[in-house]
Chain A
Amino acid sequence: MPEVPPLEAELQLATRGSEMKLEAELPPGTGESRGTRLARAVLGPQPIGMAFGAPYALFIAVLFAYPLGLAVWISFHSYFFTAPGVSVARPFVGLANYVAVLTDSEVLRSFLNILIFLVINVPLTVALSLLLATALNAAIPFRALFRACFYVPYVTASVAMVAVWLFMFNTGGVVDSVLGPVAPVPSWLVNQNWAMPSIAIYVTWKQLGFFILLYLAALQNVPKELYEAASIDGASWWHRLWSVTIPGVRTVTTLITLLAIIVGANLFTEPYLLTAGGGPNGTSASPVLLMYQIGIEQNHPDFASALGVILVIGVLLIVGVQRLLQRNQT
């Protein structure tokens, strides 16, 4: 076997298909140079695959992993933003930021707000998107038009949608005019009891198109024979939905629930724009909105980072419990 430089050898390995596999399986030290072994140890048996995957891995590392790690570090220190090159003390403060977060009444209120949001938004999202997807999956007139209509809010900029909802739900707006004396006083977005439910309904409506699309895709995989068999057995529409459709799209339901929870936990634009910064009286403030106000506007990234870390842990816990329940059901 002629001698080749290690890099070339690697390239040959990568392009020789099954040959490469065989060589990769050779025990270390059998006819390979040290450099090749080192390169393989670093880059693995598929260096070209690594090269293809590296940009995305780097993207994740730089834009997600590093900021997350930095946020965790900041949350344990006294920290504020400074100009580059400005040297200031950033003492380790242990759990002080976490204690401050967990004893802050506005933060606790924001977590309650998100709970209210999730209790309304998640079931509504799952139920409505499944029902509408089932309807749109059937042979109804103007099906394509309906599908597009439901999808439009999802692809339209939030700011534009918020302007429409402000017009509809503001004091004396279209909704108040239609409801007349039944409309709440004060109006929806300035009513402490209705502000967060209004946001939850808005987000449900805005996200519905995407979730309908997921369900439509899942419904294609439910065997038609099951519906035929159920019909022959005399099952009603409701029974077919309950016994065939819902079990058939269970994995997508799990995905939608997770996505809806994540959307809820990251709520920012709606309280920022729809209820003027989390009003009235903080009843629609979200943890992410507070992170922005406290971390960016007030230059307390240490507090905001602790809040962010708690939020991440909270979401992971909810998702973990949800996955556990799902697994047990399965």
Chain B
Amino acid sequence: MKLRAIVVGALTLSMGLAACGSGAAPSSTKGATLSYGPISIWYSNNAQEITWGEQEVAAWNTLHPTQKVTGQQIPASQSSEEVISAAITAGSEPCLIYNTAPAAVPDFQQAGGLVPLNDFPGAVSYIQTRTGSLASMYKSPDGQYYQMPWKSNPVVIFYNKTEFAKAGISTTNPPLSTYSEFLATAQKLVSSGAAKYAIYPSPSSEFYESWYDFYPLYAAESGGKLLVENGKATFDSPAGQAVAAFWAQLYKENLAGTATVTGDTFADGTAAMAIVGPWAIADYQGKEGSPAVDYGVAPLPTSKGNTSYTIPTFSDAKNIGMYASCKNRGTAWDFLKFTTSASADGKLLTLTGQMPMRQGLQKAYASYFTANPDYTDFAVESAHVIECPNVPNSIQVWQDFRDDWSKSVIFGTSSPNAALASAASAINKLVSSSSSLP
């Protein structure tokens, strides 16, 4: 009986180990950078990006029949980061992912899932020439590029002209430049019954939600400070406190919603304003099957007032990562350059309305912006974006921030200033450690 138990146990353990521990070691040698052949890529499941991706893959495959690229949408999940993280652990990620969030790069890098692009001759020069000074935000602390800056979606204020008109507010030059103007406009929108809520950023506690409420306004108010700079949190400051107080007031007066909702509250008219980037324009123009919204765009407010699109905002960028399981990295690098060429960037802009991270965007695609003036302000903003800081424990940093933000600003159970101080203290500890317990 004992022998049987031992044999069965050993078999089970070995099979379990085989099941859970298998997977090819990544071809981490530099030799892989010279390897050419078929590769696979993932791109976003946004309809316009699928079209762009399919066109680029088809164009490449026509020119390079022996280095076939297979493209597919990123598998569905709550967030792309989860899917990519799981794929890295399983060793099943494709060569290139055109949906890599800069905030997740430190974790992917720590997991050994990313290929440093510096391995490729001329890569640093290529990245910096294309993206300009903004490229430095995407450099990892070890000085290497583990991501190709690709496209940004500078977030600004969208407003519903129909609801503004109903509330008797100017639809061409709405008073939204200062916090006090914004609050007065919000009060008017709700009290007049024009909209149920003035604005409705997701109140969810997911780590990335602060990118669409706190962070853009903090970028504007602070003159472009990142959440963490030089290993220290920057937001426990007058600028951070002003932004927190502004949002806390909106929630306190029920001008912003606290309940979970399904769908887009701006598109369905529940909220009169939203903080989003140019990717949403196609939706609001009714091209994606949803009813069209008569929208206007305004720059982000600050406490002292702002009417310019040169004020810093959050990039909401998605970049291209090359992943460790990639065998034919030579092809992957060539394809990456092919899809970030001036021509490919032009197609991306035309098809998606998202801003390629390329210097001199307005000049390079002047005819597009003349024909599509709605996108011009975003092109201006795209030169003034800030990014999530490239620091260790990046996701945990944002989660800690979000938890304190939810407690104080959204649900009002503690003072926003105390919450910012608490979050700053926790974040300082996190970024000083390469791997720390939550």
Contacts and interface: CB of A to CB of B under 8 A. Distances in A.
Nearest to A93: B437
Interface in A151-169: 163, 166
A81 B85 contact: yes
A83 B325 CA distance: 8
Interface in A64-120: 65-67, 70, 78, 80-86, 88, 96-97, 100, 104, 106
A145 interface: no
Nearest to B16: A66
Interface in B344-389: none
Contacts of A58: 12, 15
Contact of B437 (A44, A100, A166, A297): A100
Interface string B81-97: 11001101111000000
A166 B393 CA distance: 33
B399 A298 contact: yes
A255 B308 CA distance: 66
A66 B20 contact: yes
Given A62-B16, A65-B12, A299-B110, A83 B26 contact: yes
Interface string A245-284: 0000000000000000000000000000111111111100
Given A83-B111, A85-B28, A280 B3 contact: no
A43 interface: yes
Nearest to A187: B259
Contacts of A83: 26, 88-89, 91, 111-113, 324-325
A36 interface: no
A186 B258 CA distance: 9
A296 interface: yes
A170 B8 CA distance: 53
A44 B12 contact: no
A302 B20 CA distance: 17
Interface in B191-235: 196, 202-207
Contact of B411 (A70, A104, A280, A293): A280
B407 interface: yes
A260 B91 CA distance: 38
Nearest to B205: A277
Contacts of A81: 85, 88-89, 111
A44 to B, nearest CB: 6
Interface residues of A, number: 55
Contacts of B107: 298-299
Interface centre among A42, A43, A280 (most CB of B within 10 A): A280
B406 interface: yes
A170 B113 CA distance: 41
A281 B205 CA distance: 8
Given A85-B24, A296-B85, A297-B207, A80 B435 contact: yes
B395 interface: yes
Contacts of B113: 82-83
Contacts of B260: 166, 170, 189-190, 273-276, 279
A229 interface: no
A104 B396 CA distance: 14
Contact of A298 (B23, B86, B393, B410): B393
Given A65-B12, A280-B411, A298-B399, A70 B20 contact: yes
A277 B204 contact: yes
A58 B438 CA distance: 35
B403 interface: yes
A62 B4 contact: no
A201 interface: no
A82 B403 CA distance: 27
A86 B158 CA distance: 45
A86 B112 contact: yes
A303 interface: yes
Nearest to B399: A298
A300 interface: yes
B76 interface: no
B437 A276 contact: no
Nearest to A87: B112
B63 interface: no
B362 to A, nearest CB: 37
A86 B4 contact: no
B438 A100 contact: yes
Interface string B1-30: 101100110001101110110111110100
A273 B78 CA distance: 11
28 contacts: A43-B4, A44-B1, A44-B4, A62-B15, A62-B19, A66-B12, A70-B20, A80-B110, A81-B85, A83-B113, A84-B22, A84-B24, A84-B26, A84-B89, A84-B90, A85-B28, A86-B26, A97-B437, A166-B262, A170-B259, A190-B258, A190-B259, A190-B260, A279-B260, A281-B410, A296-B85, A296-B86, A300-B437
Interface of B: 1, 3-4, 7-8, 12-13, 15-17, 19-20, 22-26, 28, 79, 81-82, 85-86, 88-91, 107, 110-113, 196, 202-207, 257-262, 324-325, 393, 395-396, 399, 403, 406-407, 410-411, 413, 435, 437-438
Interface of A: 41-44, 57-58, 61-62, 65-67, 70, 78, 80-86, 88, 96-97, 100, 104, 106, 163, 166, 170-172, 186-187, 189-190, 192, 273-282, 293-294, 296-300, 302-303
Query: Which 8 pairs show the lowest CB-CB distances between chains A and B?
Result: A85-B25, A66-B16, A84-B23, A86-B112, A276-B204, A61-B12, A84-B91, A276-B260
Given A84-B26, A86-B324, A296-B85, 4 more contacts: A66-B19, A280-B203, A297-B399, A300-B396
